[in-house]
Amino acid sequence: MEELREYQAILEERINKLNFPEQPENLYDPLRYFLKLGGKRTRPTLTMLGCSLFGVPGIKAINAALAVELFHNFTLIHDDIMDEAPLRRGKETVHEKWNTNIGILSGDVLFVEAYDHLSHHESDVLPKLLKIFSRTAKEVCEGQQMDMDFEGLDEVSIDEYIEMIRLKTSVLLGAALEMGATVAKANEKETQAIYDFGVNIGLAFQMQDDLLDLYADPDKFGKQVGGDILAKKKTYLLLKAQELATPDQLESLDRAMNQLEGDERINKVKTIFDEIGIKSHAEKVKNTYYKKALSNIDSINVPEENKSALLGLAKFLMERDH
């Protein structure tokens, strides 16, 4: 895990040194603020690891990595507006600390910064990087739109849910790795394999997210356990429960979701989930994606030691408890 920590340290330093203009301060102060809220820098680390996997030092992919991280932060700033989220990592969101207009505009300029960093790459890989980046950016917007659309729908199928999380969160992990592999000039087949690895890890990661929301240890989780149930969010757990429930269970579930509040709702829903065995269903799906990811990386013909940091990070993401 030495390589992992080294890359994270480099990224943290480079993000701290990003040099935004002083003026207009209402445009750039929000960026200085938001990028210091931290985070694990998972996505840009993946870009560097996707490069070093193929024997090229990860630092060669630093600008693509920064582009990925800046893009991710841009989406968070705009998503927080759309979700009316007051807090991000326990601190005020941009639109809350400043206002919605400043959130929109500082997000926009951050998106430009992302492309600007990507453009620093040499022209032998630049067109490919741009193609991956723009394709993925569109998909992330599509996923966010699907997520918003789901709120107003009575019925969402499991397939639609998986497609939504694939677009909203997983493709960016895949693309982060793919961009690293592109900088390293990996061949087409192996570039595809590392992309698929990232997407499958992303899907497993989101399953873990849905699971943690209800089954996390409250002392470690740091957020309200059962928050998705309180927010009536259509997660895998809820959608699968609705699919598998007997008519009686379905009626109880609907009643709990719509007539109970607070802990009462959470406890009742959890009881029904337990009857149906939802937790093990979700864990099975999570493990299926994780195994697919492992078989994707297994197909890549590089020394096993090149894979260890990436496999370590994947394992860490699968086992996280908060």
Write out the residues near its own copies by the rule CB under 8 A.
Answer: 21, 23-24, 26-27, 78, 81-82, 100-102, 104-105, 107-109, 111-113, 115-116, 119, 123-124, 126-127, 130-131, 134, 137-138, 141-142, 144-146, 148-149
Question: Least distance to its own copies from the beta carbon of 25, Å?
Answer: 9
Question: Least distance to its own copies from the beta carbon of 112, Å?
Answer: 4
SS3 92: strand
Nearest residue to 197 (alpha-carbon basis) of 224, 227, 226, 177: 177
Question: Least distance to its own copies from the beta carbon of 109, Å?
Answer: 4
Which residue number, 101 or 187, has a Cβ lying nearer to its own copies?
Answer: 101
Which residue number, 123 or 301, has a Cβ lying nearer to its own copies?
Answer: 123
Question: Least distance to its own copies from the beta carbon of 78, Å?
Answer: 6
Listed in sequence order, the residues at least 6 apart from 109 whose beta carbon sits closer than 8 Å to its beta carbon are: 27, 28, 31
Which residue number, 149 or 251, has a Cβ lying nearer to its own copies?
Answer: 149
Nearest residue to 54 (alpha-carbon basis) of 189, 169, 199, 201: 189
Nearest residue to 233 (alpha-carbon basis) of 24, 103, 83: 83
What does the alpha-carbon distance between residue 148 and residue 138 come to, in Å, rounded to a whole number?
15
Residues found in the chain: 322
- In the 8-state DSSP scheme, what is residue 10? H
Listed in sequence order, the residues at least 6 apart from 222 whose beta carbon sits closer than 8 Å to its beta carbon are: 322
Which residue number, 131 or 220, has a Cβ lying nearer to its own copies?
Answer: 131
Which residue number, 118 or 310, has a Cβ lying nearer to its own copies?
Answer: 118
- In the 8-state DSSP scheme, what is residue 206? H
Question: Least distance to its own copies from the beta carbon of 134, Å?
Answer: 4
